[in-house]
Amino acid sequence: MPTSDSERCEAKKLKTEAQHMSTEENGEVPSSPEKAQLKYGELVVLGYNGSLPYGEKGRRKTRFTLFKRAAANGVKPSTHHIAKTPQASKIVADKSHHSVSYTLSRNQTVVVEYVRDEDTDMFQIGRSTEPPIDFVVIDTVPGNKTAEDCKVQQSTISRFACRIVVERNPTHTARIYAAGFDSSNNIFLGERATKWKRPDSSMDGLTTNGVLIMHPTGGFGQECKAGVWREVSVCGGIYSLRETRPNPQRGKLIDDESNVLHDGTLIDLCGATLLWRSSAGLQKTPTHKHIEELRKEINAARPQCPVGLNTLAFPTRSRTTKVTEEKERQPYVYLNCGHVHGHHLWGQKENENGDRECPMCRTVGPYVPLYMGNEPAFYVDCGPPTHAFCPCGHVCSEQTARYWAQVPLPHGVHAFHAACPFCATQLTGEQGFIKLIFQNDIGT
């Protein structure tokens, strides 16, 4: 069995792409290796540990794979027209044409006609379940979720949030744009929407709550660092952030940055954050099988609880959202020191936080169950699972924990905080993670 990070990644490359293509475009699995090679990349929703609590159904899932389409469906801006209202424009009324309408006043609207682009494929993301949306996204609720937990009274995600356009020819560059075309192939920016005329006299604008992106620096790997959050416009321009998401005043144009997606780019839709993994980047990422092998390696070493002296075992993927029935085998950790124990009642404190005193070092703090981080796309390397996020207890490699602990993820309309990528829980403590200390030094 491979033991080093590079060997684990190399072993992963030997697996065929077909093994990871169960959620393809229109629900179809590529029927040949040739089709499997035309994968552009994947979008993965942060806050879910590999699957939705109510199951992966149709276009509503935690992962969407972008493949080269059988026929190009991309569009690009062409001519613009002036009309009194969007409805008065023949282009808007014609469902065979794509258009973007910028309402300047009650009596003036600029309608930009979009024409077919045979060199690009377009993929749309949003809350709507209408046919134009390829990837249906709902608001992410932090924590280990049940189907009931995921219900929100009012979503902040746009029905037609954004679109990704990918070049069909090498190097298959992917670009993101705010707003998506509706069932009539139109995008409407109303009178109150933020919009403006660019130096070349063309129009541009922002959606209500905006689409934010963040490119990691140093690539998405062991040396990566968090980048700077920017807002992308309807036409793909990059701007500094507004004071709040719905603020009508746009930020400053950033000339030296682009809307091209890089491996590890984060996309925030004001309610859900997506991670873009390129096809090349996925080749360096651990697989579900690799993570399962790491879980089995830890269990095979038969780690023990220092108090009960019973053998501990990490649960399988199907049981990672709840404590196992055999509580004494479920690994727990003291978050302030990292000592791993089984479930026991020793050291309970009489306080509201339910803190415990670690019997190994007498440190007092939270005492939580440990679960494997099962979503491979969130890993920045193939290292062993030696660290856990605080306070949720999701376990991953050290470099993965260090990266996500320093990424400020958008929260609400103006706040940012670091969160566990596997459950979206806001991180706590000095670092946001803890090194695990097993009695027999597993993973140290």
Residue 1 is predicted with a pLDDT of 43
What is the pLDDT, as a whole number, of residue 424?
96
Residue 57: is it exposed, middle or buried by C-beta count within 10 angstroms (0-12/13-18/19+)?
Answer: exposed
From the number of C-beta atoms within 10 Å of its C-beta (0-12, 13-18, 19+), residue 294 rates as buried
Give, in order, the Cα–Cα distances in Å from 280 to each of 37, 88, 324, 409: 11, 46, 37, 25
Please give the pLDDT value at position 412: 85
Structure tokens at 87: 């409805």
Query: What local confidence, expressed as pLDDT, does residue 150 receive?
Result: 57
Q: What is the pLDDT along the chain (444 residues), one digit of tens a residue?
A: 445 554 555 454 444 333 333 334 333 344 444 445 699 999 999 999 988 776 667 788 899 999 999 999 999 999 999 888 776 678 888 888 999 999 998 889 999 999 999 999 999 999 999 999 999 999 999 986 555 555 666 899 999 999 999 999 999 999 999 999 999 999 999 888 999 999 998 999 999 999 999 999 999 999 999 999 999 999 999 999 999 999 999 999 999 999 999 999 999 999 999 999 999 999 999 999 999 999 999 999 999 998 888 899 998 875 555 554 566 689 999 999 999 999 888 777 766 677 889 999 999 999 999 999 999 999 999 999 999 999 999 999 999 999 999 999 999 888 999 999 999 999 999 999 999 999 876 444
What's residue 154's pLDDT?
83
pLDDT for position 84: 81
Q: How far apart are CA 65 and CA 48, in angstroms?
A: 16
Strand ranges for 84-161 from DSSP E: 98-105, 108-117, 120-126, 135-136
* Selection from 181, 180, 165 nearest residue 95 by Cα: 181
pLDDT value for 23: 35
Residue type, 182: D
Q: Cα separation of 97 and 114, whole Å?
A: 7
Check if the beta carbon of residue 428 is closer than 8 Å to that of residue 418.
no
Of 326, 298, 328, 337, residue with least CA distance to 314: 298
120-126/162-167 β-pairing: antiparallel
pLDDT at res. 441: 61
